[in-house]
Amino acid sequence: MSAREEILAKVRRAVAGAPETSVPRGYRMSNQVSDLVGLFAERVDDYRAVVHVVPAAEVPGRLAELVGERRMIVPEGLPADWPRGIGGTSVAELDAADGVLTGCAVAIAETGTIVLDTGPGQGRRAQTLVPDYHLCVVRADQIVSGVPEAVARLDPARPLTWISGPSATSDIELNRVEGVHGPRTLEVVIST
Amino acid sequence: MRVALFITCVNDTLFPGTGKAVVSLLRRLGCEVDFPAAQTCCGQMHVNTGYRDEGVRLARHFTEVFAGYDAVVAPSGSCAAMVREQYPKLVRPGSRGATAVAEVAPKVHELSEFLIDVLKVDDVGAYFPHRVTYHPTCHSLRGLHLGDRPTRLLQNVRGLELVELPAAQECCGFGGTFAVKNPAVSAAMGADKVRNVLGTGAEVLCAADNSCLMHIGGTLNRQRTGVRIMHLAEILAATEEAQ
Amino acid sequence: MSSTFLGMPGSFPKNAAKAVQNSQLRYNLRKATHTIRGKRANVVGELPDWQELRAAGKAIKDETLRHLDRYLVQMEEAVTRAGGHVHWARDADEANRIVGELIKATGETEVVKVKSMATQEIGLNEALAAQGVTAYETDLAELIVQLGDDFPSHILVPAIHRNRAEIREIFLDKMEKVPEGLTDEPRALAEAARLHLRERFLKSKVAISGANFMVAETGTLVVLESEGNGRMCLTLPETLISVVGIEKLLPAWRDLEVFLQLLPRSSTGERMNPYTSMWTGSVEGQDFHLVLLDNGRTDVLADEVGRQALRCIRCSACLNVCPVYERAGGHAYGSVYPGPIGAILTPQLRGMSSELDASLPYASSLCGACFEACPVAIDIPEVLVDLRAKVRHKPAERAGMRVAGWILNDQVRLAKAQRLATRFRKLVPKRLPGPLSAWTDTRDLPDIPEESFRDWWERNERA
């Protein structure tokens, strides 16, 4: 018998006659949050990421200021008036860049989380990982209150990266310190 | 109200004063107290040490002895939790034992539960002019969910100064046969509990379980700290006249 | 090369007795567990629906286990459809052989690894070493353990027993390139790890991971992490091999809405961990292999009481609140799964034939703090008690418990025993002999009263 058949047979024997279950979903599907942008900004800030709340019309200008002299990876699909970047997909090119500028797929206010799904303006996964600086623009209408709404909006067929603050570790005495292998600086521009 | 006292084997053998205190307290509150002489032990030590057959025999004995009473009061959070929480897991669903357990278990109350939930009193008219700290034992805290019942009763005792015990919710390290099977860890837990007790400056350490108190008290005595242990029932039974 | 726990001698009480004497270890563990307890309590308290999430988490896992056969097949189909390859492993040897062969096919002799309990459980690193493949751990705590040739002592933070000064020493001693003037500041130590691993990440061709969750409905794997080492391993290499226990499944995509709230808050005490990666099958041109691991899980599943241990999502909240773990440390459990969950999981996965494994169900005072903290409501005390009934007891103890049971089962015998104790009460020594000396070594015995309660009642009330 193959391992597959044997494991499945053992499972069937093990659970034969076990009671059926049902899942109570009494938890909140969404939360009443009066100021989604404010809550999201506060929670991102808690992770020691840098947050800017900027009116939509001023976003291109602010991005240009923030990018400054940095040689940025800028994936395709972002507005034409945002800073231009250098191309680059190979690991060496990414490693040589100063940072990466992206949009996102959805953001979660309660947890201060940004989710990327490699869609337009988000690049491949490596592009937001290897450069040490990540500048991410979140549109106010992309922010949901809690995790259930975010899960509902996302497409599992796409590779997803959930980002909550800069890379960090709690491995030394269970105290969180920022800055390990992922981008050590996360800067978030919330476009309102 | 007529209530049966389940003394528990530890109290019966080593702490009869606690039983006498329960009797005098309940009578003061107008209860008629009966002591079913055939009672022995709830079986917790056997079940929790891995001797289920012996434990089940003792559980069966318990349900026979206490069948037919409206209320059973036990001065032990641990033994009450055994009957209420663990007995239902020892019997086969639908068996005669299951029926007997379903009949008796809900009527078994730890003392502070009985006073507050059944008799509806949180001031028992006690007098005890001492500085006291209270340790919520694990099974009374996380098994029975006694919450603030014991401390509400203590707060209403005349003359008593209740001081909060730091890290009160942490286990004292008794754990039944754990105390002898894992003596090093048990003693380390007991030592930390004792340190916290001493830090309160209390004269008396109170709890709803004499087994835990025996462990903490044994450590307090060995260290010649002078802090006394007292079961909740003994403080609640104390009156001005008796002082 | 980190060591493996397999065949470790000793017993929990003996190991723990040594550990409690180690004041540095006691201090490190106390500090770390108390820090995380406070953080967890804060972020759990923040959610008004924590108990509802917990109830849902428990039920979703129960549903998974009830129809695990169906969900496994569904997972296999979904992964295959998305261009991935699925392998099945009955036990550790089979899994290690599969992974070894997959690596061999790539021609590589070095692989990077994301922290994974399943691969620790099967001793994958050691098995690969025997096949000439070097596996590099990339999680900071795993790296500390691996560099220090040490044992992991915690599920989430395997190097929890080490403080910053000790970690600095290990780095100075074992890292090839250490930044000059390395201090013991956590930030500086993290920076040293970044430099140490950077090049390796950028050139590695093969990575090995586990997974926190697998979604049967969509074939998606989910890995939660903090440092970005996970993303490096999952994203950059050409080949990704994930070894995952069969119980890690969730039936549906939406079930993640529960577990992505339960897990980060229970484990690191954060609203969300820095990075979570989700992928389905072969992504961005990567060659993806999923190894579904049984290794004793189907035996656990067959136990009506014990199977709830398979709900475990490895958050380690039970370790962090456990007073026994805090004092004994993780090594005393002799398993990659220490603490309360380890005390019920290890004996079920490995059996209870060794002295160590037979002592694990007793490594608890049954205080219940673990059950209260568990985000999937595993009644750990219930399983411990159930396992204790299955342990082969020592003959002397068995005889003693039989006699005690016989005396306690009858009021007359009990009364006689009490009177006997009362009569000789003055003769009880301050220090007891034999196994009971365990009591009197640190505690006084209570005075035996002149009269038992039942005799007092008989004398005063019965008349």
Separation CA A107–CA A189 (nearest Å): 12
Amino acid at B49: T
Domain ranges of chain B: 2-118, 131-237
Q: What is the pLDDT of residues B62-79, one digit of tens each?
A: 999 999 899 999 999 999
C-alpha separations of B19 from B24, B107, B237, C236, C282 in Å: 9, 19, 11, 71, 70
Report the pLDDT value the prediction gives residue B199, as an integer from 0 to 100: 97
- Nearest CB to B180; choose among C368, C389, C436: C436
Which residues are CB-neighbours of C78 under 8 A, at least 6 positions away?
C216, C217, C218, C219, C220, C280, C281
- Nearest CB to C453; choose among B11, B50, B182: B11
Report the pLDDT value the prediction gives residue A80, as an integer from 0 to 100: 95
Q: Can you tell me the mean pLDDT for A113-123?
A: 97
Contact B4/B219 with Cβ under 8 angstroms?
A: no
Report the pLDDT value the prediction gives residue C1, as an integer from 0 to 100: 36
Q: Can you tell me the mean pLDDT for C362-388?
A: 98
Separation CA B174–CA B185 (nearest Å): 10
CB contact under 8 A, A162 and C272: yes
Contact B71/B114 with Cβ under 8 angstroms?
A: yes
CB contact under 8 A, C160 and A10: no
User: Considering the domain A28-191 in this protein, what is its CATH number?
Assistant: 3.40.50.10420
Q: Nearest-CA neighbor of C281 among C34, C78, C133, C118?
A: C78
**What is residue C212's DSSP assignment?**
S
Contact B/A (≥3 CB pairs under 8 Å): no
Residue recorded with tokens 């997974």:
C211
Q: Can you tell me the mean pLDDT for A126-150?
A: 97
The dihedral sign for the CA sequence B45, B48, B49, B53 = positive
Q: What is the pLDDT of residues A2-36, one digit of tens each?
A: 999 999 999 999 999 999 999 999 999 998 899 99
Separation CA C332–CA A77 (nearest Å): 55
Topology, domain C50-298 = Rossmann fold (3.40.50)
% of chain C residues with pLDDT over 70: 98
Residue B242 has pLDDT above 90, yes or no: no
CB contact under 8 A, C452 and B189: no
- Chain B residues with CB inside 8 Å of C12's CB? 182
Amino acid at A71: R
Report the pLDDT value the prediction gives residue C4, as an integer from 0 to 100: 63
Q: Nearest-CA neighbor of C223 among C287, C140, C279, C291?
A: C279
Separation CA A94–CA C236 (nearest Å): 11
Amino acid at B212: C
Mean per-residue pLDDT of chain C? 95
Report the pLDDT value the prediction gives residue A19, as an integer from 0 to 100: 93
Q: Can you tell me the mean pLDDT for A48-61?
A: 97
- Nearest CB to C274; choose among A110, A150, A167: A167
CB contact under 8 A, C187 and A179: yes
The shortest C-alpha distance from B173 to chain C (Å) reads: 6
Q: Nearest-CA neighbor of A24 among C258, B157, C404?
A: C258
C-alpha separations of C373 from B142, B168, C341, C370, C378 in Å: 11, 17, 12, 5, 9
CB contact under 8 A, A161 and C301: no
The pLDDT confidence band at residue A175, using thresholds 50, 70 and 90, is confident
CB contact under 8 A, C49 and A28: yes
Residue C449 has pLDDT above 80, yes or no: yes
Q: What is the pLDDT of residues C177-203, one digit of tens each?
A: 888 899 999 999 999 999 999 999 999
CB contact under 8 A, A167 and C275: yes
Tell me the residues of chain B between 87 and 106 that have a Cβ less than 8 Å away from chain C: 89
Residue A54: count of CB within 10 angstroms of its CB: 17
Q: Can you tell me the mean pLDDT for C225-244?
A: 97
Residue A82: count of CB within 10 angstroms of its CB: 17
The shortest C-alpha distance from B222 to chain C (Å) reads: 5
Which residues are CB-neighbours of A107 under 8 A, at least 6 positions away?
A40, A113, A114, A115, A138, A142, A143, A144, A150
CB contact under 8 A, A113 and C272: yes
Separation CA C48–CA A31 (nearest Å): 11
Q: Can you tell me the mean pLDDT for C23-41?
A: 93
Q: Which residue has the higher pLDDT, A174 or B74?
A: B74
The shortest C-alpha distance from C337 to chain B (Å) reads: 19
Report the pLDDT value the prediction gives residue C463, as an integer from 0 to 100: 60
Which residues are CB-neighbours of C100 under 8 A, at least 6 positions away?
C127, C128, C131, C133
Q: Can you tell me the mean pLDDT for C295-323?
A: 97
Separation CA B223–CA B192 (nearest Å): 13
Q: Which two tokens stand for residue B178?
A: 């754990």
Report the pLDDT value the prediction gives residue C2, as an integer from 0 to 100: 42
Q: Do B2-118 and B131-237 share a fold?
A: yes
- Chain C residues with CB inside 8 Å of B47's CB? 385, 389
Separation CA C230–CA C211 (nearest Å): 10
Report the pLDDT value the prediction gives residue C453, as an integer from 0 to 100: 98
Domain ranges of chain A: 28-191
DSSP string covering A82-139: SPP-B---SHHHHHHSSEEEE--SEEETTTTEEEE-S-TTT--GGGGTSSSEEEEEEE
- Chain C residues with CB inside 8 Å of B212's CB? none
The pLDDT confidence band at residue C434, using thresholds 50, 70 and 90, is confident
C251-265, C369-383, C422-436: which range is least confident on average?
A: C422-436
Q: Nearest-CA neighbor of A182 among A38, A54, A47?
A: A47
Separation CA C141–CA C154 (nearest Å): 10
Bridge pairing between strands B2-5 and B32-34 = parallel
Contacts of B among chains (3+ CB pairs under 8 A): C
* CATH class of the domain defined by B2-118: alpha beta
Report the pLDDT value the prediction gives residue A62, as an integer from 0 to 100: 98
B162-190 residues labelled b (16+ CB within 10 A) or e (exposed): beebeebebbbbbbbbbbbbbbbbbbbbb
Q: Can you tell me the mean pLDDT for B35-47?
A: 97
CB contact under 8 A, C439 and B183: yes
**Cβ–Cβ contact B84 with C under 8 A:** no
- Nearest CB to C280; choose among A124, A129, A157: A157
Sheet containing strand B2-5, strands side by side: B32-34, B2-5, B72-74, B108-110
Q: Nearest-CA neighbor of B113 among B71, B157, B52?
A: B71
Phi then psi for residue C304, to 5 deg, are -60, -40
Q: What is the pLDDT of residues B113-172, one digit of tens each?
A: 999 999 999 999 999 999 999 999 999 999 999 999 999 999 999 999 999 999 999 999
Sheet containing strand B131-134, strands side by side: B161-163, B131-134, B204-207, B228-231
- Chain B residues with CB inside 8 Å of C17's CB? 183-185
Q: Which two tokens stand for residue C34?
A: 């108390």
Separation CA B124–CA B237 (nearest Å): 8
Bridge pairing between strands C206-209 and C110-113 = parallel
Contact C200/C136 with Cβ under 8 angstroms?
A: yes
The pLDDT confidence band at residue C7, using thresholds 50, 70 and 90, is low
Please name the helix (run of DSSP H) or strand (run of DSSP E) that holds residue A170, with its range, or none.
strand A168-172
Q: Can you tell me the mean pLDDT for A33-61?
A: 97
Residue C5 has pLDDT above 80, yes or no: no
- Nearest CB to A159; choose among C35, C236, C279: C279
Here the ipTM equals 0.97
Separation CA A95–CA C34 (nearest Å): 39
- Chain B residues with CB inside 8 Å of C414's CB? 9, 12, 40-41
What is the Cα gyration radius of chain A? 20
Q: What is the pLDDT of residues B77-114, one digit of tens each?
A: 999 999 999 999 999 999 999 999 999 999 999 999 99
C-alpha separations of C101 from A38, C91, C115, C270 in Å: 52, 16, 21, 39
Separation CA A104–CA A102 (nearest Å): 7
Among B186, B213, B229, most C C-beta atoms within 10 A, so best to mutate, is: B186
CB contact under 8 A, A46 and C271: yes
**Cβ–Cβ contact C193 with A under 8 A:** yes
* CATH class of the domain defined by B131-237: alpha beta
CB contact under 8 A, C52 and A27: yes
Report the pLDDT value the prediction gives residue A86, as an integer from 0 to 100: 87
Q: Nearest-CA neighbor of C325 among C10, C3, C36, C9?
A: C36
